[in-house]
Amino acid sequence: MDSRTEPERGDAAAIRRPPLLRELLLVTGLFLVYKFGRQLANGHTAEAYRNAHHVWMWERSLPLPGEEAVQSALLHGDVLVRAANVYYVAVHFTATAAFLVWLYVKRPGHYLWARRVLALVTGAALLLHLAFPLAPPRMLDVAHLVDTGHVYGPTWYGADPETDSMANQFAAMPSLHFGWALMVAIGLIAATRSRWRLLWLLHPLLTLVVIVGTANHYWLDAIVAAVLLGIALAVVRVPSSAPSRAPFGTPRAMPSPPAGPGAPAGGVASAADSGLAEALR
């Protein structure tokens, strides 16, 4: 991330950086609640497979490309499919963590906004995991897709999803891989001023190809995640970049007195004000 982007202004700049220890405890606590909450959906194997068949049939009635077409493109080479597996395993948490750390250091106002949005999306996803357990397409016989993680590696999933104590494999809907990746892109676009910032959208686009091509998610998993993110973004106000009142105690440039007869336009007081305002940036 380019820390040389234009500094934020207005409301976002006026917000003080929250205490680091509190934020570490809060984010860790939210993650643990989600992690252990997902385990509550274990044991619903029959329902998860039944829902998977429903989702597969729903997708066949929609104008969506088949998941098998994306996977076929990845399977053209071992290097490509292994790279997709690495991206799926390694980038999800690390990119989101790096995003939050960068915002915390450089854009505290945007950090609070992004943390709240991610918390809302993750909480809603947990409720949906519990209400709608879903086996991923790699487990669905009718899909005829390859479990690329177990065939080519790497993977963090156990061979037997019913006894996997590390992850709930029946929590495919929605895809937080895609939801978080989309929020990372939107957050960086909102918090920076680089003319290249729209390129951050490549992250969720690549994530979408990876989650579908590795048969870990259906298209609908990503669509539902995007809808949840849209609702959260509508609820949590993005920091304004418009100029606003400076925080208490911030020095202000004094207005220039009216120019007297014969005084040059933009006189000494105006020049001093401009210099002071520039120094306070």
Please indicate, yes or no, if residue 26 is contained in any of the structural domains: yes
Q: Are residues 180 and 277 in the same domain?
A: no
> CB count, 10 Å around CB of 46?
9
pLDDT confidence of residue 277: 42
Q: Are residues 224 and 106 in the same domain?
A: yes
- Tell me: the pLDDT tens digits for 220-263? 999 999 999 999 999 999 887 533 333 433 444 444 455 545 44
Q: What is the 3-state secondary structure (H, E, C) of the chain?
A: CCCCCCCCCCHHHHCCCCCHHHHHHHHHHHHHHHHHHHHCCCCCHHHHHHHHHHHHHHHHCCCCCCHHHHHHHHCCCHHHHHHHHHHHHHHHHHHHHHHHHHHHHHCHHHHHHHHHHHHHHHHHHHHHHHHCCECCHHHCHHHCCCCHHHHHCCCCCCCCHHHCCCCCCCECCCCHHHHHHHHHHHHHHHHCCCCCHHHHHHHHHHHHHHHHHCCCCCHHHHHHHHHHHHHHHHHCCCCCCCCCCCCCCCCCCCCCCCCCCCCCCCCHHHHHHHHHHHHCC
Q: Are residues 119 and 209 in the same domain?
A: yes
Q: Are residues 200 and 273 in the same domain?
A: no
Please indicate, yes or no, if residue 142 is contained in any of the structural domains: yes
Q: Are residues 143 and 256 in the same domain?
A: no
Q: Are residues 198 and 267 in the same domain?
A: no
Window from 16-20, 144-148, 190-194, 276-280 with minimum mean pLDDT: 276-280
Residues 6+ apart with CB under 8 A from 6: 192, 193
- Tell me: the pLDDT tens digits for 248-260? 334 444 444 555 4
Please indicate, yes or no, if residue 210 is contained in any of the structural domains: yes
pLDDT confidence of residue 3: 44
If pLDDT is split at 50, 70 and 90, which confidence band does 40 have? low
pLDDT confidence of residue 163: 60
Please indicate, yes or no, if residue 245 is contained in any of the structural domains: no
- Tell me: the pLDDT tens digits for 127-161? 999 899 999 999 999 999 999 999 999 988 877 66
Q: Are residues 143 and 69 in the same domain?
A: yes
- Tell me: the pLDDT tens digits for 97-113? 999 999 999 999 999 99
Q: Are residues 151 and 271 in the same domain?
A: no
Q: For the chain, give the mean pLDDT.
A: 81
Please indicate, yes or no, if residue 2 is contained in any of the structural domains: no
Q: Per-residue pLDDT for 269 more than 60?
A: no
Higher local confidence (pLDDT), 253 or 58 = 58
Q: Are residues 119 and 258 in the same domain?
A: no
Please indicate, yes or no, if residue 5 is contained in any of the structural domains: no
265: containing domain: 252-281
What is the tally of structural domains in the chain? 2
Higher local confidence (pLDDT), 273 or 164 = 164
- Both tokens of 129, joined, read 């995991």
Q: Are residues 39 and 159 in the same domain?
A: yes
Window from 32-36, 75-79, 110-114 with minimum mean pLDDT: 32-36
Q: Are residues 160 and 59 in the same domain?
A: yes
If pLDDT is split at 50, 70 and 90, which confidence band does 265 have? very low
Please indicate, yes or no, if residue 1 is contained in any of the structural domains: no
pLDDT confidence of residue 199: 96
Please indicate, yes or no, if residue 211 is contained in any of the structural domains: yes
pLDDT confidence of residue 8: 44
If pLDDT is split at 50, 70 and 90, which confidence band does 169 have? confident
Q: Are residues 223 and 108 in the same domain?
A: yes
